[in-house]
Structures are given as C-alpha cells and as structure tokens.
Amino acid sequence: MPKYTVTPGTLVPSTPFYYYDFDLLRRTLDAATTEAAKYGYHIHYAMKANVEPRILREIQCAGLGADCVSGYEVQCAVENGFPPEKIVFAGVGKSDREIEGAIRAGIFAFNCESLQELEVIDALAARLGRRVNIALRINPNVRPETHKYISTGQAESKFGISYTEIDQALGKLHSLNHIRIVGLHFHIGSQIRNLSSFAELAGRVNEIAAWFASRGVELEHLNMGGGLGIDYEDPDAEPVPDFAGYFRTFHEHLRVAPGQTVHFELGRSIVAQCGELITRVLYTKTTAGGANFAITDAGMTELIRPALYGAHHRIENLTAGTEERAMGLYSIAGPICESSDVFARDIEFPESRRGDVLSIRSTGAYGSIMASNYNMRPIAPSRFSDKLN
Ligand SMILES: *Cc1c(COP(=O)(O)O)cnc(C)c1O
C-alpha cells in the first residue's frame, strides 16, 4: 500500500500519526542517486529534514552521506551508520562542545560560517592534536524565489561568510595551522522550484572559485548545498522531484576543475513527498461570517510549517473520498491555543464530519522533526507503508 487510504469498515489507528510511503522513498532515492551518478556528484542527506531511524537507514543504505547542522545531528548520523568521512557540519552557531565532538568523530569537513569560527575550530583542533578539513561557507548574494524565512543566500542573511570577506578569510587561513581548506560551501535557500536560481548560483561559484584558483588555492570540493523544491500543490503530479533537471543545471553551468568533487545537501526533495500527516476531524462549526471550520486532532505541534511560514500543504478528506459529498469552503484548523494554528483557509473541500480521516500531504520533510510538546501534547507516532510498525 503506497499512499494512505481509508477503506470503509476498517479501523484507522489512533490519530494523529505520521505515515511514510517507503516505496516512494526508495523510488526517490533511486532517482536522486541515478541522476547524481551521471556526473559523479555526491549527495549528503540534510538530517534536519527528518531523522526517523527507519528513514535514515534507507537513506544511508542508498549510499548518501549526511549534512548536519548541529553536533547532535552529527552524533545521530554516526549512530545511524553514516560513515564519518561522508559527514559535513554547517551552522552559524556551532558551540565548542559540538565542534570538539565532530572533530573526535572524524567528520569529513566543517562548513565554516564566520572568520571567528575559523579561529575557534583551529584552537580546538590544536588542543586535540588534530588537523581538520574546513570548507568556507560563502554567502554568494543570490536571491532565490522562495519564502524569505527559508532564503539564506542573500547579502543581509545571517548565514555564511560574506563574499566581501573572502580576502580576509584567506589571509587568516595562512596563519591557522590546524585547519586545512578543502572546499567552498554554498546554500542559498530551500523550496526553490525555479532552476534558474541554481544556474545563477553556479555562475557565482565559478567566479569565486576562479578567485581562489588565482591565489593558488586548490579546492578539492565544491558543495552546492540543497534547496531543490517539491510540488506541494499537487504531490501526485510530481511525486519524485526533478533531480534530472536539477543536476543537469549544475552540469551545464558549474565549472569543475580536474580532480574536484561536487557535493550536494538535499533534504526536502528526498523525504517530503513520502510523508503524510493523518488526522481526524474532531468538530465542525460555522462562524458568524458563514465560514466553515473543520477542527482536527493534529495541529501546529505536529506540523508547524503553515503557522511558521504560511506554507501550503494539500489536504484530502480520505473518508469523504469513499462517498459522494457536496463541496464547500472550509478552513482546516488544529486544536492548539494559537490563532496561527490553521493548516488551510477557505479551501474548496468536501463537506466534512466529525470522525472523518484527513491526510495532510507532503509532510515528510520539516514535519515530525519540528514537532513540539506545546499544550503538553505527546509527540505523534510514525507508521510505515510496509507495515513493519
Ligand atoms: C537546510 C539545509 C539544507 C537542506 O535544504 P533542503 O531545502 O531541505 O534541501 C542543506 N544545507 C544546509 C546548510 C541547510 O541548512
């Protein structure tokens, strides 16, 4: 059984729960690795999208490395079998403890986000008697067409070392003996559907890499980050994201020097479409203004993206899907005591009743991982299509 379905007369488990379609996850991983392999590209899975152990195992078995943004993610990646030499560690605020832990784990490279961080990593590496690989995360000042909260590569963003500071960074690297620059790292944002943003990124990377080459710095790797978007409007139209177009864009626009490896950090595009949040309608009501509300037993505690950045998720009434029902305008809202706890406003939706089972689609990335205990709610469980629950 791939997508979650409700069959009349059969019991649906206690809600809410996350549901993962493993067949789709495998097809997605297969497409991503096949397309990347055409150009010899390496993929690191962005752990922050989802750390469900069964999903991590699947991803790790497909041969992906890990991209971590905290020391806890580094530890989680190691514990789940990702080889340390395939782990990269980014983040604007790495603590000393997190850095030490990652040095001890022997990760492939730190993606460094400030000049000060270079000094701190150098000092900690010296204390541990190690020499560690670093890549400079450079803010290329590329502005992708996506939500401002998930855009990270424009000049005023907190992420990365400004392209105006790379001269200074290079000067510093000459005097720091316990770090070794192996590459450059970029990540311009997330949910980017227009591939021309990636072409623009590749163009900027070419300029910056040429600048380093002209100063005699040999870069062993170029890391383009992640950000490939998915179809939230119509997940069934594009269940597997356009990895072919994504990697081809880089192949066509990115200049790669002999011996240089190219790395990517994909999160959302790997896991988003295989996940659904299954919830029940608890109550329905009509406001004085005549608007219909369906109140569900899942809320922003299970899926915060709509409340956090106005994200759109397709919602389906699975129970109504088995019957003939009139359509109406509905807002679908959770039970949390926050006005922002609304999944969708005034959408065309089948007449909904108490007990109906709904699916909120495309929730495999940045869903369960952002769950909270707000209102003292327990974390919802996960269920899997291959029934090994
Ligand atoms: C979030 C993040 C990613 C993954 O982004 P997606 O849009 O989920 O592919 C990759 N690299 C870094 C540094 C990140 O912070």
- Candidates 74, 138, 197, 265: which one to mutate for ligand 1, based on the most atoms within 8 Å of Cβ? 265
Domain 273-384, what architecture? Answer: Beta Barrel (2.40)
pLDDT higher than 70, residue 150: no
Taking residues 3-12, report their average pLDDT. 90
Terminal C-alpha separation, the chain: 14
pTM score, whole prediction = 0.96
Q: State the DSSP string of 284-327.
A: EEE-TT--EEEEES--TTT--HHHHH-----EEETTGGGS---E
**Contact partners, residue 162, CB within 8 Å, separation at least 6:** 138, 139, 155
pLDDT higher than 60, residue 331: yes
Q: Which of 56-65, 157-166, 253-262 has the lowest mean pLDDT?
A: 157-166
Cα(168) to centroid(ligand 1), Å:
26
CB 60 less than 6 A from any atom of ligand 1: no
Cα(312) to centroid(ligand 1), Å:
19
CB 153 less than 6 A from any atom of ligand 1: no
Q: Indicate which residue's Cα is closest to atom 11 of ligand 1.
A: 225
SS3 (DSSP) at 109: strand
CB 225 less than 6 A from any atom of ligand 1: yes
The whole-chain average pLDDT of the chain stands at 95
SS3 (DSSP) at 148: helix
Taking residues 46-60, report their average pLDDT. 98
Cα(226) to centroid(ligand 1), Å:
5
- Structure token pair of residue 92: 């604007």
CB 49 less than 6 A from any atom of ligand 1: yes
User: What is the location of CATH 3.20.20.10 in the chain?
Assistant: 22-272
User: What is the location of CATH 2.40.37.10 in the chain?
Assistant: 273-384
Cα(351) to centroid(ligand 1), Å:
38
**CA dist., res. 121 & res. 123, Å (int):** 5
Pick the CATH number of 22-272 from 3.40.50.300, 3.40.50.720, 3.40.250.10, 3.20.20.10: 3.20.20.10
CB 296 less than 6 A from any atom of ligand 1: no
Cα-only R_g, the chain: 22
CB 364 less than 6 A from any atom of ligand 1: no
Cα(190) to centroid(ligand 1), Å:
6
Q: Which string of b and e fits 98-123 if b means at least 16 CB within 10 Å?
A: bbbbbbeeebbbbbbbbbebbeebbe
pLDDT higher than 70, residue 1: no
Q: State the DSSP string of 42-94.
A: EEEEEGGG---HHHHHHHHHTT-EEEESSHHHHHHHHHTT--GGGEEE--TT-
Query: For residues 340 and 155, which has the higher predicted lDDT (pLDDT)?
Result: 340
Give the count of beta carbons closer than 10 Å to the beta carbon of residue 162.
16
Taking residues 40-44, report their average pLDDT. 98
CB 275 less than 6 A from any atom of ligand 1: no
Name the phi and psi angles at 91, rounded to 5.
Answer: 135, 135
CB 90 less than 6 A from any atom of ligand 1: yes
| pLDDT level of residue 389 (50, 70, 90 thresholds) | very low
CB 48 less than 6 A from any atom of ligand 1: yes
**What are 97-132's pLDDT values in tens digits?**
999 999 999 999 999 999 999 999 999 999 999 999
